[in-house]
Amino acid sequence: MSTPVLRLGILGASQTAESIHLPALHALFTRFSLTILHDASTDSLNRCQKRFNFKEITTSTSDVINHPDVDLVLNLLPSNIMSNTPSRPSKPVPLTLSIDGLRRIRAATKKGTANSRFEGGPKVFVGCARRYAPCFTENFKKELASLDRIYYARCRNIAGPLPSSLNPSTSDTISINGNGNGISNAFDLSLNLNGNTNGSTNGSLAVPNTIINTTKFHTLLTDIFGNTDDLTSDRIAFARFLGTTGSHDLSLVRESFGYPDAVANISITDPFYSAMFHYTDTARDEHPFTMIYEAGIDAVPRCDSHLTVYGAGKTISLEYDFPCPSGSGEGAMRVIVEEAETPESKANGSTANGNGTNGAGSVTKPQVKRTVHTSTVAEAYERQFEDMYSFFTGNVTAKTDTADALNDLKLVRMIFEHYDRQCGTIRTPLG
């Protein structure tokens, strides 16, 4: 039986897409055929068509959505373009912060018509490339399972501004497979808190503000929070962050540790955010541990992002830069394991931290064995797209489908519920 080739329609040709997503898809030519590309910029379209051999290019999203020769639409548009429920569930819908909205998306897929080239009904795949990186799936999770006990963990994502062409809010792939003709109710999740009307940034920090459709924006906020009577700028900023960059952090944390027992001490000093997550480690004799989550945006051009876990004799760190400042798919994710060096590892010539004797009579200091496993950003996306292909063409369950996304949203809801209690507000947030 021949292997089917998925015919792709792609929305968005940003520099991030051009440097990371499109090369990964182009390399998988036995899996995907690049059929049509959409973008508002004709220069980007012409450049990408020449580089990646797209059959067609267009500035109209409907040309992609309604294309008769497209099996799968990938949405690489900035995440400030939000969709709610598809009128027919076969084409792209960026994921929503509303649990009710996600449930409507899932219900719509059940009503859809199956693509004649593939068995089964329409499917939705939610992209989170960090969770597919080989160093995370093969090294970090293995090292995490080897710990006798977790004492403490920290998740940090503090990043500086990126060039405007590398929009940090560009979403990962969100895809639907089937037949249909469109989407409805596009929402802009960005809020112009400064009252700017020219799409400028918020002060000196690269926090995008855009002109919004007030009616549609308030419709989305009502869908998320239940009402908007006392909606503060802090609450909106936090929702916007958790719906973009923060969602990838929380998804990675949830796969690593599961759900926390409780969330506490939420701090919002826009554009910086922090919270404490309290866990009971059911895999290790019910020992408790705490994880600190800290995130924000400043004006320093670097990416300080990692998930670090502390055991008694071993520290495991997953470091990542998504998207990488260079705009190249060669940016890295690294798993760094640090542990006390044993005589056996020293005899084998393992890497240490350089501590030791320094001349006659000096005291030998303890040394640290440091092991590093690296995956490129390109490898993470290629692995994600391979799994996406298997999900759409075979009877394979994707770990980042809508059921998984619903669990992410439940974690976000847990965060907002505690923030409401912390602020003395009673509300049913996120649908």
Highest-scoring range by mean pLDDT, 140-154, 318-332, 353-367 = 140-154
Is the separation of the CB atoms in 145 and 311 below 8 Å? no
Q: What is the pLDDT of residue 342?
A: 75
308: tokens are 């670090």
pLDDT digit string, tens, across residues 403-430: 999 999 899 889 988 988 888 765 544 4
Q: What is the pLDDT of residue 152?
A: 98
- The fold for domain 130-165+246-379 equals Dihydrodipicolinate Reductase; domain 2 (3.30.360)
- The fold for domain 6-129+170-192+383-397 equals Rossmann fold (3.40.50)
> What mean pLDDT is predicted for residues 228-240?
80
Judged against a pLDDT cut of 50, whether residue 141 lies above it is answered with yes
Q: Where are the beta strands (DSSP E) in 52-168?
A: 56-58, 72-75, 123-126, 152-159
Q: Report the relative pairing of strands 303-310 and 314-320 from DSSP bridges.
A: antiparallel
pLDDT digit string, tens, across residues 361-397: 566 778 999 999 999 989 999 999 999 999 999 888 9
pLDDT digit string, tens, across residues 36-86: 999 999 999 999 999 999 999 999 999 999 999 999 999 988 755 544 333
Query: What percent of the chain is modeled with pLDDT above 70?
Result: 68
Domain with CATH 3.40.50.720 in the chain: 6-129+170-192+383-397
Distance of alpha carbon 182 from the chain centroid:
24
3-class SS letters over 47-60: HHHHHHCCCEEECC
Q: What is the pLDDT of residue 283?
A: 84
Domain with CATH 3.30.360 in the chain: 130-165+246-379
Is the separation of the CB atoms in 252 and 131 below 8 Å? yes
Q: What is the pLDDT of residue 276?
A: 98
Q: What is the pLDDT of residue 363?
A: 66
Position with higher pLDDT, 301 vs 134? 134
Band of the pLDDT at 347, cuts 50, 70, 90?
low
